[in-house]
Homo-oligomer: A and B are copies of this chain.
Amino acid sequence: MKLGDIGEFGFIERIRKRAAAASHLLLGIGDDCAVSRVAPGELLLASTDLLIEDIHFRRGWSDMHTLGRKSVSVNVSDLAAMGGRALNLYLGLGIPADTSVEDLDAFANGVLDACAAYGAVLAGGDTCRSPGPLFISVTVEGSVPEAQLVTRAGARPGDLLWVSGTLGDSALALRELLAGRRPPALLAARHHDPCARLDLGRVLAVQGLATAMIDVSDGLLADLGHILDSSAVGALVERDVLPLSPAFRAALQAEPALLDLALCGGEDYELLFTSPPEKAAAVAALAIEGVPVTQIGCVLPQDHGVRLVDAQGRPCAPPRGGFDHFY
C-alpha cells in the first residue's frame, strides 16, 4: 500500500490515534495549533532539526523505525544540553509519493516510541508529498525551572571540562558506511540510534553541577568552540584521555589517524560541559544508566584559545575543523 492510497489526512489520522496524551497538553493533533500549559516558574525551550535523505541518512542503511527514533533523539539532545525536560514534538514530513504505508507506519512508531522514552508527546506537524528525497523536520518544546537553565555562556577559567559517553563512534560508523563496509554493530547503533542524554542533563541542572553545556553534534572541537565563544574563555583538551569505546579503540590501533574522528567527527550526541573544580567528585560519581562522564580538560582564559595536548602536556597538531553541511 502506497501513501497515495490513504492520503494526507488518512496518514495524519493513523498517527493521531497513536499519539499519547499528557497533562500539560490541552489540545494535540487535530486543531490549528497544539495548546499547552507551561508550568509556573518554568522557561520554555524549543529547537528545530532537519534530517534530509542522502544528506543526513540513507534509507538503505537503517530501518524506518530506527530513523524515526533518531529524528527525535537528535532534537531532544538540544533540550538535554540546556538541562531541560521534554514536552512536545512537532513533525514535518515531506514524503516521496512511492513511500509505502508500512514504512511510514514504522517511522511514525519510531517517533512515538522515542517520544515516550523521553517523556514527550507528539503534539502536531505537517505532511505533504516531496518531489525529491524524504524530508524530516522536527521541532521539540521543553521546559526548565528558571534557576536550572544551563546555557553555553557560563564557563569560567578554572572550570573542568567533561564529556559523557564515548566519542567518535558515530563518525567511524559513518566512514565505514560511506566506504561500502558494514560497521561493527555497536558503532552502527551509535550512528543510527543515538541516545539523547536527557536524564544526565537534568541531573547536572538540578544539582547545579554544570556552568556551561552543549551537545556534541558538530564534533567535539567545533562544539567546544561554541562554548568558548559564548563564554569568552579558552580551553585545554587532553587528547589522550578522550573516552573511546572498545570498538573505536580497536580501529584506532590499526589506524591512529582515526583519532581525528573523536575530535571532529560529529553526531556523538554526548553532553560536553564545564563544572567548577570543587564539584569534580560529584560529577565523577554521575553515571546515569551506565553512561560514564570523563574529564577531558579544563577552561583557560580566552587568550589561550584551544590547546590540544598529549599525555606529556606537549601541544598536538590540531585536526581539520568541524563539520559544516555546506562543505
Contact = CB atoms under 8 A, between A and B. Distances in A.
Interface stretch (A186-194, A254-262, A284-292, A319-327): A319-327
Interface stretch (A44-52, A64-72, A241-249, A294-302): A44-52
A7 interface: yes
Contacts of A100: none
Interface string A76-103: 0011011010001011111001000000
A123 interface: yes
Interface string A21-62: 000001100111111111010011111111011111000000
Contact of A84 (B33, B88, B137): B33
Q: Which of A50, A125, A142, A153 has the largest number of chain B CB atoms within 10 A?
A: A50
Q: Which of A7, A33, A131, A152 has the largest number of chain B CB atoms within 10 A?
A: A33
Nearest to A132: B132
B35 A47 contact: no
B135 A82 contact: no
B326 A32 contact: no
A127 B26 contact: no
A43 B35 contact: yes
A97 B152 CA distance: 30
A38 B37 CA distance: 9
A63 interface: no
Nearest to A213: B32
B128 A35 contact: no
B52 A46 contact: no
Given A50-B92, A135-B135, A215 B151 contact: no
A3 to B, nearest CB: 6
A124 to B, nearest CB: 6
A92 B48 contact: yes
Contact of A79 (B33, B37, B215): B33
A310 interface: no
Interface string A134-168: 01010101100000010111000000000000000
A56 B126 CA distance: 13
A276 interface: no
A156 to B, nearest CB: 17
Interface in A214-261: 214-215, 230
B55 A130 contact: yes
A9 B327 CA distance: 11
Contacts of A56: 128
A255 B123 CA distance: 43
